[in-house]
Structure 1
């Protein structure tokens, strides 16, 4: 509902003229003569306005501010264009802030205080409303279907002013959202898509109007997940019943606190917060050590730093040494030992024939080929001409001894 407040322009002009006569160059008044177009500019110089509290001028200052308040709150609220209001607020803030530090002993008067937030918001809403009214009356050519339609059935992107019909955008965005390509939900014009920087995403309220509430809700969830996944300062709460975004601590990178349930946890291992200097539990030790060794081999400093921050440099170096030793032992066992076919225990023969009996499970097997041997007649395996180990009962005794001496 619009509020009609009339101000006698002639009376205002007479009052300002009187102030101009009193203060001469210390007071300025400008009127474009186009009040209805939003070009009224009434101002005292900011420097002199800040010093008008001397010599008993408080009364005149009060009159000035009262007049300013009337003009800004009522008359200009329905006529001042949005850009002009933004510029006026920025200028007042910048100039008064600068003067404040230079003359801190003066009593300060800020014109910003005379502009209520509700009035400023009203100007923004009214300006947007009028722009939408004009947009809906004009005709535009959709860059997708190449048809000309009224603005009522079109959508314009504020940052680039590209216009598309709502039907085309609806189908286009629904496909992108269904496929999870939320990073592509922006202006589809080639000029915006070919830019290096990411074009602004479509606002949620606009998506609901374009593609429906269901698609808008899915779009909101996908976009939030995309933004959290690509933000190094944020992660996800590991609590199954929560799983909302959590923020990493600025001073302790491993520490993260959920914004919803306040659960504090380690952002590396997702376990309850265990302290900054306590290493994370290693679930897959071999995979982690291989990753660490590959990073050192390829000089991937970021990966090395992350792993050392997560598990500790000394812990990683110790595990790396153990991993290398175990790998060497496994290679030696593979070359010089035979595993029991029952319990898979690796056995190295130091002397004697190739008939072996596992000291762990008691299985009889051939040391050459690893096959089971009969408990009643184990040597038939070496005496049968059809056996692959025929006459190999004592084979390899010297070679094994020599290789053991070398190693």
Structure 2
């Protein structure tokens, strides 16, 4: 019976470990052997490169450390436990595995004849929080062999998703607690919303053409708290590739990408449009390439992040149809090609290409069609331009505090002044602003319903010019009538 006592003690220690770590697996052939997989999820992501590549990947989950234990006869009084450590795939260096194995021997020496397996496993789990020292290395990214790349990246992605799905989150839109399995974490800012809310909001924005609102739904996302800095900071839009991951339908994501490109082209004064009335496509340019595959469009750009240089075509443009020469280059800078119908035309006079040595003049307002001129007159008379992006805005009803649909800038509808988002109504209570003082609710029934109003800024100047033009016309007509009467 005395010979069995050590063995009973060993089995008792493994039983205790099994109650603490249910994932510990006992060996059916050897009751004194067991194994366990320890998760490796560092507190901060580990930068990794897969040589010979130099691309740095941030990994937050690494393949688990497999620990095999055998308690030999004489443990714990006479002999240490037999420990074997491995990883699959073999990403941990042999030197690190050997160091961890020796720590079991050192701990056994320290504990004397006391059980030490729980302390050893706890020490390994603690070390896993720094990827066993790799996260604390000052030697730069961890270098791993190229064949490990696919399995390591797949493991990281899969484990992140599995961990996320088990958690519970409060959706910032519907304010209900939801399991991660029905939620989505945005790549750039890590804000979490339920998939249903994201789909409803983004699909509605795309349907209505409000592509600038396809962004994170957290009100303070990207804000610094500094009004001056936040004013010029445009929202970071969700990339088409990420919209497909939420998921949105391919048709809607395609529409989003096309609308976003269309808005950029129309807002760029350097872009010329085809003079053919049945076409009117934009000129070809590398700045706004045609969309081919939205699943590969992973940029999350905002309007102020566009850094591509404006370009115009060179002599090769007739064949390639792609603008290559920087704007301002002498010679062929007037030649552009329609991206839809391939017409080569002059960007200055909008006529079919007449050669580089033919003088031409810009198309002026007097050359506008009757419909174009009528549209322009209506816009000048019945809209106020946004002070930030100059998009014409018209008030249907309500107060004179306006928010631009295009860029979300707050401004005064009467004078066109920019208003601070944190206190936009102070503008209408400032006695120094006589033109707008106490006029918050002027024309509350809408621009056209009020029958006109007293405006300032650019719109006021347009109205004043129109008044003097009409007055001059009236005086001329009266003078002509007097002349007729004298005869």
TM bracket, shorter-chain basis: 0.3 to 0.5
Q: Which structure features the higher share of strand residues?
A: 2
TM-score scaled to structure 2, two decimals? 0.35
Larger radius of gyration: 1
Q: Which structure features the higher share of helix residues?
A: 1
Structure with the greater relative contact order (CA < 8 A, sep ≥ 6): 1 or 2?
2
